[in-house]
Amino acid sequence: MTANSLSDNYRGVFDTRLGFGARPALLVIDFVIAYTTPGAPFFGQGVVDAVDASVPLIAKARELKLPVIYTVVEYHPSGADGGLFFRKVPSLKLFVRGEPLGAIDPKIAPKPEDLVIAKQYPSPFFGTSLASTLHTMGVDSIVLLGCSTSGCVRAAAVDGIQHGFRVIVPRECVGDRHDAPHQAALFDINAKYGDVVSRAETLDWFGKLPAVSQP
């Protein structure tokens, strides 16, 4: 199926745009050095590029005092808290607590005021306090940065809309290990779960927000 026929197939069925909300939070998903270190099993140049593209967006969010929340994957040394997911993907042992490749890339390192949420599964909402935290903050939109697009970012988009948040994905700020699953996931997210937009459009939205967007 060609790109044109694919778009035609979805037109009028899966092409509604939800638009931006009034109280966004940035969710920086698993931007850890396992994905940005050449030679590491999870390395992807697309993730490196996404980290670089995310720097000005995170800086603008901080300037506006928007919530910036990071997620990392972290397991007990036994892997027992990873269940079948840990068995399905044995390379997840790189994210056992204390392993150096599990650290957040220093280019976008969290500040002391940022929350860092540890998770064991693809969705940052599954088994964590993220949804309650965002609702308490009065957040109505989540801006997803991170990796991988086809894995944890897509899972965040699915669960995000299910928890009642507008999902915004700046396409330059998410990455994957290969372009094919990356592009497929962006298409799927935009069709069903959120709005895939440019970084420039996201920055323009941020520029129209008040300096403090928290209740």
Catalytic residue positions? 152
Q: Going by DSSP bridges, is the β-strand pair 68-73/141-147 parallel, antiparallel, or unpaired?
A: unpaired
Number of alpha carbons in the 13 Å side-chain half-sphere of residue 107 = 19
Closest CA to 206 of 70, 17, 22: 22
3-state secondary structure of 196: strand
Q: Rounded CA gap, 215 and 78, in Å? A: 41
Q: Is residue 189 within 8 Å of 162, Cβ to Cβ?
A: no
Beta carbons within 8 Å of 208's beta carbon, 6+ residues apart? none
Number of H helices, E strands in the chain: 8, 7
Q: Cβ–Cβ contacts within 10 Å for residue 38, how many?
A: 7
Which residues, listed in sequence order, are joined to residue 65 by a DSSP beta bridge? none
CA dihedral 87, 93, 94, 100 (to 10 degrees): 150
